[in-house]
Structure 1
Amino acid sequence: MALRWRRTHLGTEADRATFRTLHTASLASPALREGLTERSAARSVKHLRALLGTPAVAVTDAAGLLAWDGIGEHHGVHAAPLAGTTIEQGSTRVAAADELRCLTASCPLRQVVISPLVVEGTVVGTLQAFTDVATASLVRACDEVAAWVSTQLELAELDASRNRLMEAEVRALRAQISPHFIYNSLGAIASFVRTDPDRARELLLEFADFTRYSFRRHGEFTTLSEELRSIERYLLLEQARFGDRLGVTLRIAPEVLPVAIPFLCIQPLVENAVRHGVADQGRGHITIAAIDNGLECLIEVEDDGVGEDPERVRRALAGDAELDSTGLGNVDVRLRSTFGDQYGLVVETAPGAGTKVIVRVPKFSPGVHA
């Protein structure tokens, strides 16, 4: 016996209406998460009009109209004056025909509901719903949609603040590049100018490439491959200074070289190893390993130096700037901000036992691209 399939709708009409509303909101959300701009307003305004179900919708900032969708575009000139009053009052209001001043007899738009868009307590713009009659339900709907838009804009501001913080942290790391390292590197290069000009030339090129990478302006993220190449340059310069007193072992799995990581998150760990693991005792050995661990990459930086007091390390990772001379806390915060709290630094150390720093990062993470 043949079975006959008949398409059925799941859920009640209320369920379907809820789904449509959520779906429409999800279409507007990505644009609004970019902040309140002409581009984001233009991309989201049609979805906002679908949410409100009105003949026309306008989005403004504090200066004027950003985007319009629907009929009656001649009312666009009224958007800025309408927004001004609402921004001053800070609450949803209804403007009648006398404020619209419409001279087009056939235009059905006679009233407009104007709701403020608020970010961190400041009214930054308005959502305006144009209609023939502004019912109480429309006023309530416009107020709710404006509140949702405001939430998206606040999330955009949080994202922007996070990016500004990350940039500030990277600038702080750049500022921590030791002047002594620069002086000692140039001194080591100068010492080879007469005795070994070819090596002096090579070291000078490595120094130029190292500083170019460290002070580059683009990109919050880099690949492990690029970071390791910069570290290699750094170690070549330090080996020119220490000679055979500085030993280096690299164990790098090729599979993890393309992994994206925050810019300058491994280099400070190596600088710390040289400073406290080698310079403090005049000689030492550093081991750098990058290990393929399934869905994750493990990066280990280990030295056989004098070690650290675990309590001092804990305080440095907790944000004590006086103890964080090489930016370990900075790196820890950026790793956690990027990948989640489970991906912070792990430091194994004790006085006289050397130091091992372990970084665990996912091979793939949404939004993290070099």
Structure 2
Amino acid sequence: MADLLLLAALLLAVVVTALLLRWWLLGRRTGLGSPEERATYATLHTASLAAPALRGGLTADTASRALPYLRSLLGARTVGLTDSHGPLAWTGGDAWDQAGSVVADVLDSGRPQASGHVIVAPLTVEDRVVGTIVAVDDAPSAGLARTATEVARWVSSQLELAELDASRTALMEAELRALRAQISPHFIYNSLGAIASFVRTDPERARELLLEFADFTRYSFRQHGEFTTLAEELRSIERYLVLEKARFGDRLRVVTRVAPEVLNVTVPFLSVQPLVENAVRHGLEKKDGTGTITVVAEDAGAECVITIEDDGVGSDPDTVRDALSGRTGSPSVGLANVDERLRTVYGNDHGIVVETGVGLGTKVTVRVPKFAPGVE
């Protein structure tokens, strides 16, 4: 009997808790459902729908995709976007005949203007007028004029972000070209020399190395995409080390530890391989006897942590600082390039960290967020 009473009490407690939770949730929903809150939500939601198109820059295509949402924000009969040369797209009808002269004045003055049924506000990027937003209504009000100005400012902010993205992409491409120009000739010369040494003594080995060399160079010189997966980058590193082991023989040992969870993490293209090449060139080439390179990729919650460590000759910390600053004459040509690209993509908190000392080897650590805006 006592057990039944206890069970009944527990069931009652569960039911009461469930009812209280439901009441609390309903109260929360009611609190979030005031006209002002619904209007705020609708505005932010509509703006978020327009943002992806505008982040593509100001073109006829992006204007066409963004305009339905901008028209909803403005509540005007007809809305258009222009660049500095003329109209890009309209929704609700073409009003260029009415708006053309006003648009020209706004492009020239950089200030919002209204004339008759037409309201025009400038779109600016870094103080440059790059276009306008046009609102046409049967009875335009002062409220519509203020709204058009605010919407134009928001559109301008999205266009500035688009320009920053384009600048970042151009910078990344330029740095990749510089990296290939600086690092690849040295590696190609050494690899071909190693392969040539096997042509007579071990033709099959020479053939295998040539295939590895072809796959490595195909990856390194590909012309599309600024990002890749960590798995692809590690495969390239494996090919690179196979070629270097052909040159070093038993002097080079390689240890690799990779967590399967991080293989699909997206990383900047050629962001790890140059660090491995740097370890070989500046850590092990000058060392007598056997040298070891250890490549580790670990799962660290929201980040992937990659370390490249060698037990080579090490370096003076001041020399490393010179390398990271990109000063002329620094031997570690890849360090500054990789560091700059990582900071460009992920922010200043994600540059490379180098631990080294003369005769103590070198350890380079890279922390890559598993998910980051614009990285895919």
Whether TM exceeds 0.5 here: the answer is yes
Are 2:340 and 1:333 equivalent residues in the alignment?
yes
- 2:83 aligned to which of 61, 74, 77: 61
Counterparts of 1:281-300 in structure 2, within 5 Å, are: 281-283=287-289, 284-300=291-307
CA distance in 2 between counterparts of 1:47 and 1:255 reads 40
- 1:189 maps onto 2:195 in alignment: yes
Q: Which residue of 2 aligns with 1:361?
A: 368
Q: Which residue of 2 aligns with 1:46?
A: 68
Match of 1:216? 222
User: Which amino acid is 1:307 matched to?
Assistant: G
Distance 1:91 1:112 in 2: 14
When residues 15 and 260 of structure 1 are mapped into structure 2, their CA distance, relative to the original with a 3 A threshold, is closer
Q: Specify whether residues 184 and 85 from structure 1 end up closer, same or farther in structure 2 by C-alpha distance, changes over 3 A only.
A: same
Q: Secondary structure at the match of 1:352?
A: coil
How much does 1:326 deviate?
2.4
Residues 178-202 of structure 1, C-alpha deviation per residue, up to 9 Å, x if partnerless? 4232122112212211211111111
1:93 to 101, 113, 128: 113
SS at structure 1 position matched to 2:283: helix
Report the CA distance shift for 1:117/1:292 in structure 2 as closer, same or farther (over 3 A). Answer: closer
> Could you say which residue in structure 2 is the equivalent of 1:22?
44
Q: Distance in 1 between matches of 2:299 and 2:138?
A: 64
- The corresponding residue for 2:104 is 84
Q: How many angstroms apart in 2 are the aligned matches of 1:271 and 1:326?
A: 10
Question: CA RMSD of the aligned region, Å?
Answer: 2.6
Specify whether residues 75 and 280 from structure 1 end up closer, same or farther in structure 2 by C-alpha distance, changes over 3 A only. same
Quote how far apart the aligned CAs of 1:307 are.
Answer: 0.6
CA–CA distance in 2 between the matches of 1:355 and 1:9?
58
Return closer, same or farther for 1:148/1:324 CA change in 2, 3 Å cut-off.
Answer: farther
Give the total of aligned pairs. 353
Q: Deviations over 1:142-176 (max 9, x none)?
A: 22211221111111111111111112122221112
| Distance across 2 between alignment mates of 1:259 and 1:12 | 43
Question: Is there any run of 5+ residues in structure 1 with no aligned partner, and where?
Answer: 97-110
- Deviation sequence 1:237-257 (CA, Å, 0-9, x none): 112222222222222333322
Where structure 2 has 5 or more consecutive residues not aligned to the other structure, the ranges are 1-15
Deviations 1:182-229 (A, max 9, x none): 122112212211211111111111111111111111221111111111
2:150 aligned partner, one-letter code: E
Alpha-carbon shift at residue 79 of structure 1 (Å)? 5.0
Residue by residue over 1:54-88, the C-alpha shift from the partner in whole angstroms, topping out at 9 and shown as x without a partner, is 11111111232222112xx2534555554333212
TM-score (norm 2): 0.85
Matches within 5 A, 1:1-370: 8=30, 10=32, 13-70=35-92, 73-76=93-96, 79-96=99-116, 111-283=117-289, 284-323=291-330, 325-369=332-376
Q: Is the 8 A contact 2:102 2:114 kept in 1?
A: no
Change (3 A) 1:291 1:8: closer
Q: What SS does the corresponding residue of 1:327 show, helix, strand or coil?
A: helix
Tell me, what secondary structure is at the counterpart of 1:88?
A: helix
- Contact 1:62/1:83, CA 8 A, preserved across alignment: no
Of Structure 1 and Structure 2, the greater helix share is in 2
What's the secondary structure of 1:194's corresponding residue?
coil
Matched-pair contact (CA < 8 Å) for 1:316–1:323: yes
